[in-house]
Amino acid sequence: MHKKFLFATWSGGGAVPPVLSIARALRERGHDVRVLADRSLHEEVAAGGVEPIAWTTAPQGDATDPAKDVIKDFEARTPIGAFARLRDRIVCGPAADYARDTLAELRARPAAVLVAEHMLLGAATGGEAAGIPVASLVTTLYPFPTPGAPPPGPGLAPASGMLGRLRDRVLTQLILKPWGKGLPALNAARVAHGLSPVDSVIDAFDRVDRVLVLSPRALDYPGRRFPAHLRHVGPRLDDPAWAAGELELPEGDAPLVLAGLSSSFMNQRAQLERIADALGTSPVRGLLTTGPAVDPATVRAPGNVLVTAAAPHGTALRHAAVTITHAGHGTAVKSLAAGVPLVCVPLGRDQIEVARHVELAGAGITVSKNASPRMIARAVDRVLQEPSYRRAAQRLAAEIAAEVATDRAVAELEALAVRATGRDEGAPGRDTAEPSGPSQMLSS
């Protein structure tokens, strides 16, 4: 049955392609889909046959251009500073603007369901005010503390014993505390749109009908428990529109190492050059993709390394023996889905956590973002020479294949849309009167 969906996203680097992948899949099934997004994303939105809509008062940015990036987390001196920029410039600070734009679009052209990228609490607030179902898309590992896992962010190993549990309790409070500075702006946005204030920013993340996690359940901790309204729906494995095109591989028959760092600007040119230098000392072929944030002409490389702005990773991974990545969720999971082990060079954001999960799964190893070419070369050689890494990656590939055999994200969103048609006009857009918050976790 034909339904109308409104998506909301922002120029958030690797978070964009999986969101647009779902929008495109719904459009291909005959639904009416449009996407509220920064103007810098409109070409990519339209490439999927989906209608782009510009934010009018909410921030407009371009994560590939350091001058136009809204967050500029590459300027932060500490992880806390980088987090504060995300909180104040996207999640909470402009929440009223995102809510106003979302609600205005929904009033002008109603939709059955609002689908918001997880960090856009303002957009979710607009959907809640409109009284329609809201789905939140988490494009990485679930980023909030839950029972059965260490607090996410620092890349910790699971705790054991009394001291380990104490560590987790203390760190959970430390990790959640900085969100408090965003609460006044968020609650102001809620009150301005006729909604009651929330006790914490974390509670606001749960004011949705569904949290859809676009990450393999197999990559997370087996005993981790999640909120009742959360669903793991599997990763999106298709390449973004900007990476489309013919695949060119470096000449020769040596093992292929696919390398690439963030698609957004993270001041990564020096790391790209160290990776190129490392591959130049190894008996491999290197395919180094710089992404749209770095001009490939500015990256010097030895003769066995082909440097290009973009390549279809889905195709390249069929030839690759190892992937070197910043441990961005998209590249890491695509590599694992292809059975390719990883060398992770996390630069920040969620990447330390993703790298830790890859290591715990036995499918790769991590080196510092300041690692020398020699250290990177040693890591690549180790992953190439020890078959356990490829076996672990192939095990995860089989589990990911089972997860994505059906499009669970589309099924969940279509179910929300069907349910929406049975509601009375103006009924609240929640499953229950009160959301299931972090203290009310159930097994998913």
The reply to whether 4-237+404-438 and 247-402 are identical in fold is yes
Kindly report, residue by residue over 337-355, the tens digit of the pLDDT: 999 999 999 998 899 999 9
Residue 419: the pLDDT is 86
Residue 291: the pLDDT is 87
Residue 426: the pLDDT is 40
CA atoms within 13 A on the CB side of 231: 19
Q: At what angle do helices 121-130 and 95-108 cross, to 10 degrees?
A: 40
**CATH 3.40.50.2000 is held by the domain 4-237+404-438:** yes
**What are the C-alpha distances in Å from 165 to residues 155, 156, 160, 171?**
16, 12, 7, 10
Q: How many helices (H) and strands (E) does the chain have?
A: 15, 15
Average pLDDT for 408-430:
74
Residue 159: exposed, middle, or buried by beta-carbon count in 10 A (0-12, 13-18, 19+)? middle
Kindly report, residue by residue over 37-76, the tens digit of the pLDDT: 999 999 999 998 999 999 999 999 999 899 999 999 999 9
Q: Which run of H or E residues covers position 307?
A: strand 305-308
Q: Is the pLDDT of residue 441 over 90?
A: no
Q: Which CATH architecture has domain 247-402?
A: 3-Layer(aba) Sandwich (3.40)
Residue 303: the pLDDT is 92
Residue 340: the pLDDT is 98
DSSP 178: G
Q: Which amino acid is at 207?
A: R
Give 437's pLDDT tier (boundaries 50, 70, 90): very low
Kindly report, residue by residue over 247-295, the tens digit of the pLDDT: 889 989 999 999 999 888 888 989 999 999 999 999 999 999 998 889 9
Residue 253: the pLDDT is 92
**Mean pLDDT of all residues belonging to the chain:** 92
* pTM of the predicted protein model: 0.91
Residue 439: the pLDDT is 36
Task: Count CB atoms within 10 A of the CB of residue 251.
Answer: 9
**Cβ-contact 404, 238 below 8 angstroms:** no
Residue 427: the pLDDT is 40
DSSP 49: T
Average pLDDT for 149-173:
89
Kindly report, residue by residue over 8-39, the tens digit of the pLDDT: 999 998 899 999 999 999 999 999 999 999 99
Residue 262: the pLDDT is 86
Kindly report, residue by residue over 346-401, the tens digit of the pLDDT: 998 899 999 999 999 999 999 999 999 999 999 999 999 999 999 999 999 999 99
Q: Is the pLDDT of residue 423 over 80?
A: no
Domain limits, the chain:
4-237+404-438, 247-402
Residue 189: the pLDDT is 98
Residue 265: the pLDDT is 87
Average pLDDT for 161-166:
89
Residue 159: the pLDDT is 84
Residue 422: the pLDDT is 65
Residue 383: the pLDDT is 98
Average pLDDT for 217-232:
94
- Token pair recorded at residue 330: 């998209």
